[in-house]
Amino acid sequence: MKFGADGLARGMRQVPSPNCDDRPPGTLATLLVVHAISLPPGHYGGDAIERLFTNRLDTAEHPYYREIAHLRVSAHFLVHRDGALVQFVPIGRRAWHAGVSTWRARARCNDFSIGVELEGCDDDAFSPAQYESLAALARALRTALPLRDFAAHSEIAPGRKTDPGPRFDLHRFLAALAAR
């Protein structure tokens, strides 16, 4: 996997999100933030996550969607349960995924991070294909960016966020990352 000068991964499915903007001048991504999402909660498959990140969520489709349709959020990438990757925001731009956040005494993590959503929830294990795709993506990002840290959303927003949850196996991810 390689990234072009436009910040897009070659050969990856692209679903452009309007929920992004420019990083502060001179700021590069040094942190990868791992999230988990399922829409509706606990359900997998479908395109609801893509519709949320592109402001096209149909509030009549599920009662939960009425609660979140006003949100203007995104991530750089989504890793589906089968390992398929989707890119929403070029890696040189700031995706709106972290919210109020701090990493190692540095606030506003969106400014200096890449957000990756795993299709899942706190209570379910992630699939082997997701770990492999996440590791391959992280390797490619480390080639394109000065990425040096990995954090869970819960680590950068403690008390506010719990994802990717206790079922995310950081050691498995790191082992897959080092395997190649």
Residue 94 lies in a domain: yes
Check if 117 is active-site.
yes
What is the domain extent for residue 134? 13-178
- Nearest-angstrom CA–CA distance, 77 and 24: 20
Token digits for 29?
A: 């991504």
Residue 3 lies in a domain: no
Residue 6 lies in a domain: no
Q: pTM for the whole thing?
A: 0.96
| Backbone conformation region of residue 95, classed left if phi is above 0, alpha if psi is from -120 to 50, else beta | beta
Residue 63: asked if its preceding bond is cis (omega within 30°), the reply is: no
Residue 4 lies in a domain: no
Q: What per-residue confidence (pLDDT) applies to 132?
A: 95
Amino acid letter, 136: A
Please identify which of the residues 50, 67, 117, 155 carries the catalytic annotation. 117
- Nearest-angstrom CA–CA distance, 164 and 180: 24
Q: What per-residue confidence (pLDDT) applies to 50?
A: 97
**Per-residue pLDDT of the chain in tens (180 residues, 90 and over written 9):** 999 999 999 999 999 999 999 999 999 999 999 999 999 999 999 999 999 999 999 999 999 999 999 999 999 999 999 999 999 999 999 999 999 999 999 999 999 999 999 999 999 999 999 999 999 999 999 999 999 999 999 999 999 999 999 999 989 998 888 886
Residue 90: asked if its preceding bond is cis (omega within 30°), the reply is: no
Q: What per-residue confidence (pLDDT) applies to 47?
A: 96
**CATH code, 98:** 3.40.80.10
Cβ–Cβ < 8 Å for 79, 118: yes
Residue 2 lies in a domain: no
Task: Count structural domains, the chain.
Answer: 1
- Nearest-angstrom CA–CA distance, 135 and 171: 11
Q: What per-residue confidence (pLDDT) applies to 178?
A: 87
